[in-house]
Chains A and B, each alone.
Chain A
Amino acid sequence: MSRRTRWMVTLLVVAQLGLILACGSGGVVATRGPRWACPSPTPLPYGEAGPIKEIITHTRPITEGGDWEEIIYYAEWEQEYPDAGGPPFPSPTPYALVGTSYLFGQRVEVWPVHVQVDASAGPPVTSPGVAAGSQQLYYIDITWDNHALEPFVMPYGERVRLRAVTSPAGAVLSDARWGMTNLSLQLANMEPPPDLVPPGVSQVRIPVLAPPGEPETVDLLFAANPDYVPLLPTSTTLPGTPTPTVGGAPPTPTLAPNDELRASEAPLLTVQWSNATWVPPQAEPCADPGALTDWSGEEVAWGVPAALQVAAPPGADRLIQIVLNQVGKPYIWGAKGPEAFDCSGLATWSYAQIGINIPQGTAGQWPHMRPVEQHALQPGDLIFFDIAGRGRIDHVGVLAGDLDGDGRWDMVHAASPRLGVRADYGVFESAYYAPRIRGFRTAR
């Protein structure tokens, strides 16, 4: 071994030792929230808090002040809807609030690793001390792709859980105690997996005992440390990235009784994989990234009062899926959902579910949203009506694309107290609706 090689090995060992010491109780160190490994846009700051999209130089006579520059920032909607003409919104960012729930088999980035989790049912267990028919083996298969140069500590017995199973009777059972034990290893005739995840691609199988059924949900727990900088083979840190620091002082607790009981705990990031039934409309799962990452993400936003409200990387498909799920609900004037809607409330609530805030009421939506021509309509755009013929906007629907495959625009709307939320087809050809259309607005 040459001197240089020894030096490099020593460097790596020191780095690994430092990592292990820094990890404390061990575990993969997640430096940021999980994301789909599919190409996935992630929410970023926008407006003046975000990057500059474009600088337009305007010519002006020197007598009027000379040339001036107009700085254009990205709008919120441009995170997910690439603008046709301008530069795309920069992505990704290490700060993503995209949720922690995925499908079995889905490859997920929990930087600096990619991890894929699957689970399968094993044989029923017959063993002394285990009541007949009460337990079954399950196998949790984890594929790691560790992009760092050093291995990570992963105590599988503590950090992997079969969170839920579906019993033969069809009932989902959920518990936090179904993990790898000496008994499960013995019954599976397996050796304990190594606690280190090596650099590169590796696989591990974890046996777990749980009530009989099919695997429903698996938890993987990561130690979370946004300050940790993994040792990577090449620079993957964006130039210009500041050293991560705590964003401001922590909130000062209000002095009050029982303050002496306050405590803190090491942050853990729980990422879940499940066999949820999710079939995106007209798309493969990867074509609609983040579809199952919508309602969670709490570990990423530690204590942050929802500064980034965008909880789901949406797509037009996702919005339409949400709107269609409301069909059949009642119309109640003034209702903003989710149990009942009025016409504008349906649009506002549905957009809110994908993290886009649009004005409330037709009186807010019609004048304050961006107009769009009919030829440029996209699914998800809003269509406004003057139903009563009194010369003012009194109704709005969400254009849903071509739902029935006849090549015509269909819409979902909270129609009336009698009709509730419903889909109406061929709206531009409808003898009732077409003459009452007054225009369109978009949140794109």
Chain B
Amino acid sequence: MLTHLFRPMLLLLVLLLLAGCAAPLTYAEVQATAQVTGCWPDPFPTPRAVTVTPADSGPVEPPLPTTTPYPRCPPAPGATQVPWPTPVPNPPPYPTMEPRPWQGGSDQQTTLFLPSNVLTIDLATHPTERWAAVGAVVWSGNRDPERAFVSVYHPQSRVWSPAHQVDIGPSQLGRYSRTVAVAISGDRTVHAVWGMSDPDFRDNDPPSGIWAGSSTDFGTSWSPPLRIASDCRRVNDLAATLDGTLVAQLICNDGPDRSVPALVVRRPDGTWLPPERLPIPAWYFSEGSLVIVGEGDDARAVGILFAGQGGLPMAYLISKRLADAGPWHVEARPIVAPGGELGERMWHVRGLVFERPSGDPQPAPGIIFTWTDAEAGGAYALTSLDGGLSWGPVERIAAPQHAGEQLAFVAPAYDPAADRLVAVWTCCAFALFATPETTHYASWSVPGSGVWRPGTDAARVPLVFGARSAFETVIAQARNSRSGWIAWIERQQRVELRSFELNQIVPVDQYQLPGGQP
């Protein structure tokens, strides 16, 4: 036995010694050595395929070539054998939820999986019913155009509609503005707004624009696209009310070199008003969010938009009572966050309206906007407990714990039973064109406290949604529902959706009920 092992080692040693003082061996020489030693010399490049016929080929005639390759020779003393070729690793277990009978929701589903990358997604629920619609922009990566798709969850059949391209004909997306926003109004109409721009915007000819479409049959068919704004490139968000009012936050051109935000309102009768441009120095890629609090004449739109000023991040809080004819109220607010310096660009902004339990017959709704820092990678929030009339300080939801980590996406939810805000965020990488291990984590907070748990340095709470490589992640929640919808881009190409129950995220001790978690 020892002799059997010793012979290849000895020959290999001789081979290495020879290689050390002579020209490198040819392939044929290495092959001949392998045939003698019975193993392939370890440090040599993997050769071309060879067929080796064993001397004793068994009872089969003519002898079949063996399918057993040469093993690699043992590495030299003190050397480490490098796996070669690298074996394909087995897939690791990944977190997912077991199927369960949802009431108005669904287990994890893939609503879109095309050969190209999904650039961005948006998600909305009916204001009071727990069904949802998801929009996605797919980048072709070839000479096909970018496309905007919308899928709708049918509340009765509980089936997602096929993903339907909405940007058809003249409304087709350009190659430089790739945003889509969705909303559902009280009459169960699903609305989509998308940004279209001229591929060559140096001359802005034809001018870029924003388009809208709607579906009254849960996504089966769509109205012809309607151009609702010109010379605008990007839609940041779309909000809807029960009575059918829509408000969209846009980014528009202001001459050849400047961009400004604009708001465009659709009346309940379906009339889109001209966009109102706000004198805010924005970037063409500035991101923001928008919510509507109240209904009817009391409805107020409240939004946030991020830009930079002198290298510092600046938030512009925008609001208006929609029944008023006056201008939008704009409040500029420098973003100063606890626990470290911020970059200039804030992005991936999401908003949510929530109603806290109160004895007041007309309680003031709360508003939360969440976002991440494109450079420093932290997740932040701004909260109002009075419907946007006043705002607390910037709250830090979570932060990177190691160099190179990035919390790229964060989205808010609210558990009315626990009276806790919840933030779901992704960690720890940001890669649209790769598939790093990135999954979801959760934090929670008493509204207005500014304190998010677990703390920045505490153990993180991973969620079991089923993401292995999550990119953009968004949440939508019907008013004070105990469950929400979450959608994310999985492994670059897929739009994944599922329902989740907030009491599976918020810890038991956060519920102020005698029995703990309801």
* A171→B67 contact, CB < 8 A: no
* A328→B96 contact, CB < 8 A: no
What's the Cα separation between A328 and B199 when bound, in Å?
A: 7
Residues in B with CB closer than 8 Å to A159 are none
Residues in B with CB closer than 8 Å to A219 are 113
CB < 8 Å: which of B48, B60, B68 contacts A7? B60
A209 within 8 A of B: no
Closest residue of B by beta carbon distance from A420: B202
- For the complex formed, measure the closest distance between the CB of A125 and the CB atoms of chain B, giving whole angstroms: 17
Which stretch, B315-323, B365-373, B377-385, B458-466, touches the partner chain A? B458-466
* B257→A417 contact, CB < 8 A: yes
Contact string against A for B residues 39-57, beta-carbon threshold 8 Å, 1 for contact and 0 otherwise: 0100111111111100000
B22 within 8 A of A: yes
What's the Cα separation between A50 and B203 when bound, in Å?
A: 49
Residues in A with CB closer than 8 Å to B94 are 262, 264, 303
Residues in A with CB closer than 8 Å to B89 are 226, 246-248, 302-304
Residues in A with CB closer than 8 Å to B88 are 32-33, 94-95, 226, 244, 300, 302
B435 within 8 A of A: yes
Describe A's contact surface by its main secondary structure.
Answer: loop
CB < 8 Å: which of B113, B199, B436, B468 contacts A270? B113
Residues in B with CB closer than 8 Å to A164 are 114
* A277→B143 contact, CB < 8 A: yes
Which stretch, A113-121, A138-146, A250-258, A394-402, touches the partner chain B? A250-258
Name, among B84, B90, B115, B434, the residue most crowded by chain A CB atoms within 10 Å (CB to CB).
B115
Closest residue of A by beta carbon distance from B136: A174
- For the complex formed, measure the closest distance between the CB of A227 and the CB atoms of chain B, giving whole angstroms: 8
Residues in B with CB closer than 8 Å to A278 are 142-143
Contact A298 to B163, CB < 8 A, known contacts A235-B69, A256-B459, A330-B284: no
* B46→A240 contact, CB < 8 A: yes
What's the Cα separation between A238 and B34 when bound, in Å?
A: 13
Contact string against B for A residues 346-372, beta-carbon threshold 8 Å, 1 for contact and 0 otherwise: 000000110000000000000000000
Contact string against A for B residues 140-154, beta-carbon threshold 8 Å, 1 for contact and 0 otherwise: 111110010100000
Residues in A with CB closer than 8 Å to B61 are 4
What's the Cα separation between A1 and B117 when bound, in Å?
A: 57
What's the Cα separation between A242 and B71 when bound, in Å?
A: 6
What's the Cα separation between A309 and B144 when bound, in Å?
A: 25
What's the Cα separation between A53 and B462 when bound, in Å?
A: 44
* A261→B51 contact, CB < 8 A: no
- For the complex formed, measure the closest distance between the CB of A264 and the CB atoms of chain B, giving whole angstroms: 4
* B85→A94 contact, CB < 8 A: yes
Contact A90 to B98, CB < 8 A, known contacts A253-B93, A306-B436, A328-B200: no
* 8 Å CB interface, B61-109 against A: 61, 65-72, 82-98
What's the Cα separation between A292 and B114 when bound, in Å?
A: 12
* A235→B66 contact, CB < 8 A: yes
Closest residue of B by beta carbon distance from A296: B493
- For the complex formed, measure the closest distance between the CB of A90 and the CB atoms of chain B, giving whole angstroms: 6
* B95→A51 contact, CB < 8 A: no
What's the Cα separation between A100 and B492 when bound, in Å?
A: 12
* A292→B461 contact, CB < 8 A: no
- For the complex formed, measure the closest distance between the CB of A18 and the CB atoms of chain B, giving whole angstroms: 14
Contact string against A for B residues 172-211, beta-carbon threshold 8 Å, 1 for contact and 0 otherwise: 0001100000000000000000000001111000000000
- For the complex formed, measure the closest distance between the CB of B433 and the CB atoms of chain A, giving whole angstroms: 6
Contact A258 to B463, CB < 8 A, known contacts A51-B46, A246-B89, A295-B141: yes
* A238→B69 contact, CB < 8 A: yes
A126 within 8 A of B: no
B274 within 8 A of A: no
Name, among B114, B168, B462, B468, the residue most crowded by chain A CB atoms within 10 Å (CB to CB).
B114
CB < 8 Å: which of A50, A94, A240 contacts B72? A240
- For the complex formed, measure the closest distance between the CB of B91 and the CB atoms of chain A, giving whole angstroms: 4
What's the Cα separation between A109 and B163 when bound, in Å?
A: 30
- For the complex formed, measure the closest distance between the CB of A231 and the CB atoms of chain B, giving whole angstroms: 7
Contact string against B for A residues 165-177, beta-carbon threshold 8 Å, 1 for contact and 0 otherwise: 0000111111110
What are 29 A-B residue pairs whose CB atoms fall within 8 Å in the complex? A52-B45, A57-B24, A95-B88, A170-B165, A171-B165, A172-B149, A174-B112, A235-B51, A237-B67, A238-B46, A239-B50, A239-B52, A240-B70, A242-B72, A247-B89, A254-B462, A256-B460, A265-B96, A274-B115, A276-B144, A292-B142, A298-B469, A298-B492, A309-B434, A325-B175, A328-B201, A339-B176, A352-B433, A353-B433
Binding site for A on B (CB under 8 A): 19-24, 34, 40, 43-52, 59-61, 65-72, 82-98, 110, 112-117, 140-144, 147, 149, 162-166, 168-169, 175-176, 199-202, 222, 257, 284-285, 429, 431, 433-437, 459-464, 468-469, 491-493, 504, 507
